[in-house]
Structure 1
Amino acid sequence: MNTKTNLQGDMDKAIEQFNQQDEEIFQWTKQWYPVAVVNFLDPSRPHAIQLLGRDLVLWRDSFGKWSCFEDFCPHRLAPLSEGRVESDGTLLCAYHAWRFDSQGNCVSIPQSKDQQTSSVNCSNPRSCAVSYPTQERQGLLWVWAESGQQAQFESQLRTPRIVPELEDESLQVVHMFWNIRDLAYGWDFFMENVADPAHVPVSHHGIVGDRYKDANYYDMHCIKDISTQEGFAFEITPTAPTIQQAFHDFQPPCHMRIVSTSVDGGKLILALYATPTRPGWCRHIGCQVLVKNDSGKTPKGLGIFGLPMPTWLGHVLSSLFLHQDLVFLHYQQKILAKRQNSRWLDTVYTPNPQDKMVITFRQWLEKKAGGSIPWANGHESNLSCAELDKQKLFDVWTTHTQHCSVCQDALKNIQRLYVLAYGLAVICLCVGVIVDARAIAVKAALASVNQMPIPLLAFPPIGFWWALAGATLFAVIGYLLNKFSRLFYVYEFEHAHND
């Protein structure tokens, strides 16, 4: 009875604290953050991630439940992300084979003297891994940024920043693929960027808009007052005749919801998430949601990314879009960091109404959220150190492909195809040589029978040319496939060359 009373008291206390939060500074750790797309994770192994400067590990047990621990074994602090997911559904530390269940309890210490000693040591709280609340929602894996029993209570009081249209059965919805990417700039610069529609036709020239024709004046109006917990929202004056309404809704800590309603009633929703991983970096997860109008017509999506395509192809092509902003935002962040103790508003010049939403975001961060992210201990924020080799910013392998099982499978298949294409090219060439040699031999034999001189020059037979054409075709296909496969590793971009 006392246990139940204590649990109820803790719950009441948590509810009271949450009801008072909007009057206080935003609490970064008492939030749900999307950290992965479930279908892109390999369930047979653990995955290292970062959240608010903490090193964490994700893994799935035999019941299909994903868990999140701090990435160290309590024994000797070896990273659990270097361990193994065993057939019994436990996470094994590959250093000394300690095993943990999905709750973080240590269930096996093989080096113990006997089973009784092992049980005693496993029952000690110090043997447990540090576990964080998790949940799956709308295909994403969400992690609560605090651990412990109190965190379990508090995490149940808040709903992740989901896309409500995906759960509204009255709507006809087309859910495009999720994309995920680690980006070499901070969470605040990501949010600042997506709160700035004016950059889109300029920065994304050739994909979404034209820098010379579409960089037009427009105004924006606040439609949701700034709030600690609920953020703010702005309506954008439509510049396209096909758009009836457009608005941006910032939902702390990590969601920017962008909705464009066309004149025929269809909606394009951009669900953009940015999870702060470590200083100077964030993890972006995003998708498009197309809501059909009453007549069942699907609205146009964002550029080429609104077209039907395999998920892996969407991931590869996303570099074309993301890398158009990447260098700007990386160096913006570094320039601001060098101006220490300077307020953002004092360092920039924002005379046009198109900057209203960016200014409001910076005001929310300064006045409602403590001015910056409270990174975990041991993670110093040295943001003024810029990456001098700009080409390293365009790395795709370490920021996406190595974490995405869908793209890894596609890459393996493409590599098989270009090896096959080169192999067929060699075979065709060999066949052509054999056909030509056979033709020469036949002509030589006929010349011998007829006692005529062997012709020194003879036009190869048609079969040779067909074989040569096949060899050329397969070699070109192999070359193009090999070149395309490079997009899984790196994609370099220069605005100076984007005409």
Structure 2
Amino acid sequence: MAGVNVQAAVLSTRDTTIPNLDFQHSFCKQYGRSSADIRNSQEQKTFTRRSSHYKSNSLAATPTSWERNSVGSAKYRSVPHRRHVKVSAIAEPLTEPPQLESASKDTSKEAKFDWNKQWYPVAIIKDLEEDQPLAVTVIGRPLAVWWDKSSNKWQVYADKCPHRLAPLSEGSITQDGQLRCSYHGWTFKGDSGECTFIPQAPSDSKPHTSTKACVTVYPSIEQQGFLWFWPDLSQGAINIEAAANPPPFFPELNDPTYGFDMSVREVEYGYDTLVENLLDPAHFVNSHHKIQGRREDGGPWNLKLESKISAPGFKGMADFGPYDFTAPCTVTMNASYPPEISIRTNLYGDHSENLLVHALIVLLTSLKARLSKNPAPNIVATIFFCVPVSPGRSRCYWAFPRNFAAFTLKNVPQWIQHRMPNLVFDSDMLLLHVVERKLEHEGLSGYYSPTKADVLVLAFRKWLNSFAGGAPDWGGTF
């Protein structure tokens, strides 16, 4: 089936309001404060958030957490330091598992989530090569991503030649910019996936003009450094639904004052395990000890569900701010804190304290704080895209835009910026793989979740089971 370029339509319907974001710090221990001190302080100063812009109402001198006002907008709330506050004041231990507000409601009549009518990231554009195709599997669909010179765009084809089903991702790019199958040399191009040449056909015949010779082409769009594809090919979906439901948009990724890197990691556990883990901030300081915090910084968490659980996802609130899941892929977090705090903060974890990049960030951030009369708060956004690949396998794309030391971050070698996230993934990889295997046998009844730290985990499981059929729709592949 022919594909359609929906980029113009998507851009015209894009909602440029930034989603709620938040981020988990690991700086508590490093400047003499416990996480309990920060979360329990009572004095407040407010930073108000307006779309992607953050205006300081008063200069804060301490870490910030967030609250929502009566109309649902997010506010940054700075929390001055107070020592000798009991940890138990943060979140009282529960005698019963936390109950979700909408848990008792019948969701059978509510709109269900359609896995096929969604945008999924398939690649980071800067990592693609125009002279060779890329094989990638998303939600059970094998895909071939390649640069189509005739259309001047990246194409997402089904990864099978219509001749004998050979993978087109193993093919080559011709001198005139078409995709050639390596098995028998059939050649394809364009948004329609038309076959332009069959070497075995007589010159006076035209079997290549048959619709049976065409490759399946999926709708795709380039946005903010990512290539996205839409798996649904039903009539009307390409022109209407795909354009009306664009991929998530983040103003920080277009803001030249922000520095960031994008990367990807494929992991040996499923989509549901990946999302669940990212919605669980309580594991950070334990599973990622000395990489993303320290065990001794751990304590109770007062996670709350801030919205109704519905097909599009849900919004939550942690001690450090809003914590959102936008179905099917997006988990967003964010942090805003005064400039002087980042001077003493190891943003890359203990394992990289001696790296030059850390020294440069500390130096530049220190200068910014000392030279500016009214320095704006430092903002670190955390954006994850969680992609189902196949049962027991998933892929995570991420970007961590920040508005300080942007020049340094833009010029740091990519391998250095990849080092810390991969340390994080490695440190709990085995745990999650084993947990998933056990969950297959015991089911969710094997979970015992008596504290508020698991509220968002329970919310995600409710979303998955009540609205999304309990698992991704693999399109009959598995």
TM-score class, shorter-chain normalisation, is: 0.5 to 0.7
Aligned residue identity for 1:72: K
- 1:287 corresponds to which residue? 399
- 2:431 corresponds to which residue? 328
Kindly tell me: are residues 271 and 22 of structure 1, through their superposed partners in 2, closer, same or farther at Cα, counting changes over 3 Å? farther
Counterparts of 1:307-386 in structure 2, within 5 Å, are 309-339=412-442, 342=443, 344=444, 346-379=445-478
Take 2:249 and 2:286, find their aligned partners in 1: how far apart are those partners?
30
1:279 CA displacement: 0.9
Say whether residues 1:271 and 2:360 are aligned partners.
no
Aligned residue identity for 2:263: N
Kindly tell me: are residues 289 and 224 of structure 1, through their superposed partners in 2, closer, same or farther at Cα, counting changes over 3 Å? farther
Take 1:47 and 1:166, find their aligned partners in 2: how far apart are those partners?
24
Counterparts of 1:91-110 in structure 2, within 5 Å, are 91-103=179-191, 104-110=193-199
- DSSP 3-state at the match of 2:144: strand
CA contact (8 A) 1:132 1:148 kept: no
Counterparts of 1:3-82 in structure 2, within 5 Å, are 23-62=110-149, 63-82=151-170
Aligned residue identity for 1:215: G
CA contact (8 A) 1:270 1:289 kept: yes
Root-mean-square deviation (Å):
2.4
1:347 CA displacement: 1.6
1:378 CA displacement: 3.3
- 2:287 corresponds to which residue? 203
- For residues 160-200 of structure 1, give each alpha carbon's deviation from its aligned partner in whole angstroms, at most 9, with x where no partner exists: 02323324x6xx64231101111111111111001001001
- 1:422 corresponds to which residue? none
Aligned residue identity for 1:195: L
- DSSP 3-state at the match of 1:289: coil
- 1:226 corresponds to which residue? 309
Take 1:361 and 1:84, find their aligned partners in 2: how far apart are those partners?
42
Take 2:450 and 2:410, find their aligned partners in 1: how far apart are those partners?
37
Aligned residue identity for 1:206: K
- 2:333 corresponds to which residue? 258
Take 1:166 and 1:197, find their aligned partners in 2: how far apart are those partners?
24
Counterparts of 1:85-234 in structure 2, within 5 Å, are 85-103=173-191, 104-115=193-204, 117-118=205-206, 121-147=207-233, 150-153=236-239, 154-167=241-254, 173-211=257-295, 213-229=296-312, 231-234=313-316
1:156 CA displacement: 1.4
Kindly tell me: are residues 299 and 315 of structure 1, through their superposed partners in 2, closer, same or farther at Cα, counting changes over 3 Å? closer
CA contact (8 A) 1:267 1:299 kept: no
TM-score where L is the length of structure 2: 0.66
1:299 CA displacement: 8.3
Kindly tell me: are residues 70 and 163 of structure 1, through their superposed partners in 2, closer, same or farther at Cα, counting changes over 3 Å? same
Say whether residues 1:236 and 2:318 are aligned partners.
yes
- 1:428 corresponds to which residue? none
1:308 CA displacement: 6.6
Take 1:147 and 1:84, find their aligned partners in 2: how far apart are those partners?
26
CA contact (8 A) 1:175 1:289 kept: yes
- DSSP 3-state at the match of 2:324: strand
CA contact (8 A) 2:259 2:409 kept: no
CA contact (8 A) 1:27 1:369 kept: yes
Kindly tell me: are residues 85 and 148 of structure 1, through their superposed partners in 2, closer, same or farther at Cα, counting changes over 3 Å? farther
Kindly tell me: are residues 81 and 307 of structure 1, through their superposed partners in 2, closer, same or farther at Cα, counting changes over 3 Å? closer
CA contact (8 A) 1:262 1:299 kept: no
- DSSP 3-state at the match of 1:370: coil
CA contact (8 A) 1:138 1:166 kept: yes
Take 2:431 and 2:246, find their aligned partners in 1: how far apart are those partners?
33
Kindly tell me: are residues 328 and 22 of structure 1, through their superposed partners in 2, closer, same or farther at Cα, counting changes over 3 Å? farther
1:259 CA displacement: 1.3
Aligned residue identity for 1:352: T
1:31 CA displacement: 0.4
Take 1:312 and 1:44, find their aligned partners in 2: how far apart are those partners?
23
- DSSP 3-state at the match of 1:174: coil
Aligned residue identity for 1:271: I
Name stretches of at least 5 consecutive residues in structure 2 with no aligned partner: 1-8, 14-107, 339-375
- 1:386 corresponds to which residue? none
Aligned residue identity for 1:331: V
Q: Give the stretch that moved more between structures: 37-46 or 219-228.
A: 219-228
Take 1:113 and 1:208, find their aligned partners in 2: how far apart are those partners?
64
Kindly tell me: are residues 308 and 247 of structure 1, through their superposed partners in 2, closer, same or farther at Cα, counting changes over 3 Å? farther
CA contact (8 A) 1:268 1:299 kept: no
- DSSP 3-state at the match of 2:297: coil
CA contact (8 A) 1:82 1:93 kept: yes
Aligned residue identity for 1:82: E
Take 1:284 and 1:253, find their aligned partners in 2: how far apart are those partners?
12
Name stretches of at least 5 consecutive residues in structure 1 with no aligned partner: 1-10, 16-20, 239-245, 292-297, 380-499
CA contact (8 A) 2:268 2:429 kept: yes
Larger Rg: 1
* The structure with more helix, counted as a fraction of residues: 1
Take 1:288 and 1:234, find their aligned partners in 2: how far apart are those partners?
20
CA contact (8 A) 2:252 2:258 kept: no
Runs of 4+ in 1 over 6 A off after TM superposition: 305-308
Kindly tell me: are residues 53 and 138 of structure 1, through their superposed partners in 2, closer, same or farther at Cα, counting changes over 3 Å? same
Take 2:451 and 2:243, find their aligned partners in 1: how far apart are those partners?
42
